[in-house]
């Protein structure tokens, strides 16, 4: 039987918690009393339905619901056996009136009333119209926690409530799974995680050590301990189920993820992302080539292709015009007995371009004008071309490889860090440029360019190679092994945008609020920034010292001219052999000049 004072108490509690929908679980009491109860709540804009004890209420479609239960009814706890454990979460408020507090608490201890639940027990006080309120929750139903009953306050015509305090977990043991893919040498797994600052052999890629420090902070804040478990995968679908950390959280083999993970829609169905932590910024690191088109283009780069075509066309037209003029008898003057062949005209063009002068001597003024204009044209072209070639060799090269498409079209080789999220990205991506880059430069029929960070960065140091890895890892290696010149040459290209990482818990975890609020407090205290400043190596600055400002022209830059010279010598030798063979065939004697 629900008396008016008890109904008033229920009404005040529902209003205090901003609950507009409720369910009364009644026993064989008077229907008139339940109708009266519903009428009072409905008059106060609280929509209420009624279910018989021993049946499972239907509560779909509401965000917050209050469930009212009288523990004096027989078999009242049968209703708790029938409802799903999701009904004990924070969106459901249980208001249970009881005359025997101890037996009611003992009965509730068998149900998963976790620390994020909202279960209030109502008992009659010694004074008339006074009720005492108690909250009940388990600090870890699945983690061997204990059931807690705490005095919440009392009601005497109005509510007198204490502040809700559920932060002390009293040493409950949470199972924590940590992703470590690197080999651990000369120390235990626990010793590895206890690192408080970076060492020469440890790189905090993807913030795993920083985040485990956060877990230790949370353990101190909320008084819980953890049982560690190691895995080598963040969690990817394998044969229809997740492996690694996500799989452990999904199967409730772990309560909290000891490593932050990327946001992904397929994972969100099975785990809860709590709050963002840091950004991870993987990218291609490369030493930008001084000559992106290769050393063979050094001598053609100063002029555009169209300009080269125009120059060749103009010189050909001058050669043809001069050849015709040499053939015309009307232009011949007394003493013009020199070679007048067409080949002589083109030899003159070549000597003019090479600034070597010419033996072509004619008395005709028109031929002299052509020769003079040709020399002026080639002199101007020669000076501009030489100056441009020299400045190209000595100046700092422009950054012409700016995006993934430029990298694909360059002559650089490429590779990626041998880690699961890189392999998974190339399996899932729909970016046509990334797919083409993967098949042409990373995983070809002859090469499978997945390397460790140290091996990949050593190839970047030698030049001609782009390596994709976490920037934190790259900067640490660059600082210890790159010279100032190599650091200044370093260039970055993103394969995909920076990824925000987040803390993860098992689905509908009762510790969601603890982790979210705890990390927010750590942010506000500045500890997140401090951890990053301690663990994350910033990008090494490019310091332009005299050593880095000097550009040397090496044999590689000069190799094109040497190759051309070697080709000419080989061609001349072949022609010589041919001439000797032809002379022997004709029977002519071969004589050497003294």
In this predicted model, what pLDDT tens digit does every residue of 375-424 receive, in sequence order? 888 888 888 888 877 776 666 667 788 899 999 998 899 999 998 899 99
Task: Look at the alpha carbons of 108, 112, 114, 118 in this order and tell me if their dihedral is positive or negative.
Answer: negative
**Residue closest to 448 by CA, chosen among 422, 470, 485:** 422
pLDDT(337) > 80? no
Cross-strand partners of 159:
155
417 compared with 374, residue with greater pLDDT = 417
Provide the H-helix boundaries in 262-413: 265-268, 305-327, 342-353, 365-394, 404-409
Q: What confidence tier does 330 reach under pLDDT thresholds 50, 70, 90?
A: low
The tokens of 287 are what? 């030493």
**Could you give phi then psi for residue 469, rounded to 5 degrees?**
-160, 175
Judge contact between 93 and 66, C-beta under 8 A. yes
26 compared with 522, residue with greater pLDDT = 522
pLDDT(293) > 80? no
Model confidence pLDDT, tens digit, residues 539-590: 888 876 555 445 566 666 667 778 888 998 999 999 989 888 888 877 766 6
**Residue closest to 6 by CA, chosen among 55, 72, 51:** 72
End-to-end CA distance of the chain: 138
How far apart, in whole angstroms, are the C-alpha atoms of residue 463 and residue 290?
10
Judge contact between 381 and 346, C-beta under 8 A. no
pLDDT(459) > 90? yes
Helices and strands (H and E) in the chain: how many = 21, 21
Q: What confidence tier does 425 reach under pLDDT thresholds 50, 70, 90?
A: very high
The H or E element that residue 50 is part of is strand 47-52
Task: Look at the alpha carbons of 105, 110, 115, 116 in this order and tell me if their dihedral is positive or negative.
Answer: negative
pLDDT(206) > 80? no
The sheet carrying 413-417 orders its strands as: 450-451, 413-417, 465-470, 282-287, 490-493
Q: How many CB atoms lie within 10 A of CB 284?
A: 24
CATH topology classification for 4-161: Rossmann fold (3.40.50)
**Poorest-confidence range of 53-67, 182-196, 263-277, 512-526?**
53-67
Judge contact between 162 and 152, C-beta under 8 A. yes
**Average pLDDT value over all residues in the chain:** 84
pTM more than 0.75: no
Q: What's the half-sphere exposure (Cβ side, CA atoms, 13 Å) at 31?
A: 2
The tokens of 367 are what? 């031929």
Quick one: pLDDT at residue 554? 64
**Residue closest to 504 by CA, chosen among 274, 335, 306:** 274
The H or E element that residue 237 is part of is strand 237-238
Q: How many CB atoms lie within 10 A of CB 518?
A: 23
Judge contact between 141 and 114, C-beta under 8 A. yes
- Burial zone of 58 (CB within 10 Å; 0-12 exposed, 13-18 middle, 19+ buried): exposed
Q: What confidence tier does 363 reach under pLDDT thresholds 50, 70, 90?
A: low
CATH topology classification for 282-292+398-497: D-Maltodextrin-Binding Protein; domain 2 (3.40.190)
**Residue closest to 476 by CA, chosen among 178, 182, 177, 179:** 182
Cα distances from 488 to residues 21, 393, 482, 484, in angstroms, run 65, 17, 10, 6
354 compared with 203, residue with greater pLDDT = 354
The sheet carrying 65-70 orders its strands as: 47-52, 21-26, 65-70, 92-97, 118-124, 131-138, 147-155, 159-161
Highest mean pLDDT, choosing among 262-271, 333-342, 478-487 = 262-271
pLDDT(532) > 90? no
Judge contact between 24 and 52, C-beta under 8 A. no
Q: Is 269 helix (H, G, I), strand (E, B) or coil?
A: coil
Judge contact between 297 and 410, C-beta under 8 A. no
**Poorest-confidence range of 17-21, 354-358, 509-513?**
354-358
Quick one: pLDDT at residue 297? 61
**Poorest-confidence range of 327-331, 351-355, 472-476, 544-548?**
544-548
Model confidence pLDDT, tens digit, residues 536-548: 888 888 876 555 4
Give the distance, in angstroms, between the CA of residue 17 and the centroid of all CA atoms in the same chain: 41
The tokens of 329 are what? 């008898």
Provide the phi-psi class of 365: left if phi over 0, else alpha when psi is between -120 and 50, else beta. alpha
How far apart, in whole angstroms, are the C-alpha atoms of residue 39 and residue 32?
10
* Residue located via tokens 């619901």: 65
Quick one: pLDDT at residue 24? 87
Cα distances from 139 to residues 223, 273, 508, in angstroms, run 11, 21, 15
Residues 348-361, mean pLDDT to the nearest whole number: 78
Residue by residue, DSSP assigns 438-454 as IIIIIB-SS-B-EE-HH
Residues 501-525, mean pLDDT to the nearest whole number: 92
pLDDT(295) > 90? no
pLDDT(490) > 70? yes
Q: What confidence tier does 183 reach under pLDDT thresholds 50, 70, 90?
A: confident
Quick one: pLDDT at residue 432? 94
Q: How many CB atoms lie within 10 A of CB 80?
A: 20
pLDDT(28) > 70? no
Could you tell me how many residues make up the chain? Answer: 594
Task: Look at the alpha carbons of 221, 226, 231, 232 in this order and tell me if their dihedral is positive or negative.
Answer: positive
Judge contact between 141 and 113, C-beta under 8 A. yes
pLDDT(198) > 90? no
The tokens of 305 are what? 């292709």
CATH topology classification for 167-279+503-553: D-Maltodextrin-Binding Protein; domain 2 (3.40.190)
Q: Is 558 helix (H, G, I), strand (E, B) or coil?
A: helix
Give the distance, in angstroms, between the CA of residue 5 and the centroid of all CA atoms in the same chain: 60
Residues 206-232, mean pLDDT to the nearest whole number: 88
Question: Going by C-beta distance under 8 Å and a sequence separation of 6 or more, which residues neighbour residue 55?
Answer: 79, 82
How far apart, in whole angstroms, are the C-alpha atoms of residue 238 and residue 240?
6
**Residue closest to 319 by CA, chosen among 355, 356, 360:** 360
How far apart, in whole angstroms, are the C-alpha atoms of residue 226 and residue 245?
15
How far apart, in whole angstroms, are the C-alpha atoms of residue 558 and residue 502?
53
Cross-strand partners of 67:
23, 94
Quick one: pLDDT at residue 413? 92
Quick one: pLDDT at residue 331? 67
How far apart, in whole angstroms, are the C-alpha atoms of residue 118 and residue 58?
19
């Amino acid at each position: 039987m629900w008396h008016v004072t008890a109904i008033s108490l229920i009404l005040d509690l529902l209003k205090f918690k901003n609950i507009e929908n409720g369910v009364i679980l009644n026993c064989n009491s008077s229907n008139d009393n339940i109708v009266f109860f519903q009428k009072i709540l409905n008059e106060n804009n609280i929509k209420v339905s009624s279910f018989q004890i021993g049946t499972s209420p239907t509560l779909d479609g509401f965000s917050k619901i209050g469930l009212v239960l009288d523990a004096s009814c027989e078999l009242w706890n049968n209703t708790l056996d029938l409802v799903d454990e999701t009904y004990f979460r924070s969106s459901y408020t249980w208001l249970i009136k009881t005359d025997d507090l101890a037996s009611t608490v003992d009965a509730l201890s068998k149900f998963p009333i976790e620390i994020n639940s909202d279960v209030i027990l109502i008992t009659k006080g010694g004074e008339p119209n006074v009720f005492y309120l108690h909250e009940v929750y388990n600090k870890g139903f699945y983690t061997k926690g204990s059931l807690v009953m705490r005095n919440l306050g009392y009601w005497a015509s109005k509510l007198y409530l204490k502040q809700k305090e559920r932060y002390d977990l009293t040493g409950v043991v949470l199972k924590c799974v940590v992703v470590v893919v690197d080999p651990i040498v000369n120390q235990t797994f626990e010793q590895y995680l206890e690192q408080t600052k970076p060492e020469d052999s440890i790189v905090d890629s993807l913030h795993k050590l920083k985040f485990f420090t956060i877990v230790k902070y949370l353990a101190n804040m909320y008084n819980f301990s953890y049982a560690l478990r190691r895995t080598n995968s963040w969690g990817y679908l394998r044969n229809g189920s997740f492996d690694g950390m996500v799989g452990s959280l999904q199967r409730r083999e772990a309560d909290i993820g000891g490593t932050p993970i990327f946001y992904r829609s397929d994972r969100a169905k099975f785990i809860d992302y709590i709050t963002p932590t840091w950004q991870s910024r993987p990218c291609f690191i490369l030493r930008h080539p001084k000559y992106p088109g290769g050393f063979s283009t050094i001598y053609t780069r100063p002029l555009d292709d169209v300009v080269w075509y125009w120059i060749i066309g103009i010189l050909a037209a001058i050669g043809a015009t001069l050849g015709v003029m040499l053939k015309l008898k009307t232009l011949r003057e007394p003493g013009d007995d020199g070679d007048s062949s067409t080949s002589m005209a083109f030899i003159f063009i070549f000597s003019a371009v090479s600034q070597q002068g010419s033996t072509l001597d004619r008395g005709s003024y028109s031929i002299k004008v052509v020769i003079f204009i040709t020399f002026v044209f080639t002199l101007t072209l020669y000076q501009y071309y030489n100056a441009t070639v020299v400045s190209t060799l000595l100046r700092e090269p422009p950054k012409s490889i700016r995006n993934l498409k430029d990298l694909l079209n360059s002559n650089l080789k490429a590779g990626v860090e041998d880690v699961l999220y890189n392999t998974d990205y190339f399996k899932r991506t729909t970016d046509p440029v990334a797919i083409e880059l993967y098949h042409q430069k990373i995983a070809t029929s002859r090469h499978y360019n997945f390397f460790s960070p140290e091996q990949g960065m050593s190839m970047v140091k030698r030049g001609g190679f782009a390596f994709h890895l976490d920037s934190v890892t790259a900067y640490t290696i660059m600082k210890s092994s790159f010279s100032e010149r190599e650091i200044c040459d370093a260039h970055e290209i993103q394969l995909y945008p920076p990824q925000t990482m987040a803390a993860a818990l098992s689905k509908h975890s009762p510790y969601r609020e603890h982790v979210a609020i705890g990390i927010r407090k750590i942010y506000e205290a500045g500890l997140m920034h401090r951890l990053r400043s301690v663990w994350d190596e910033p990008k090494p600055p490019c310091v332009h010292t005299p050593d880095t400002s000097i550009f040397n022209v090496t044999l590689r830059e000069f190799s094109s001219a040497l190759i051309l010279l070697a080709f000419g010598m080989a061609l001349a030798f072949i022609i010589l052999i041919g001439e000797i063979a032809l002379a022997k065939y004709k029977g002519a004697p071969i004589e050497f000049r003294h």
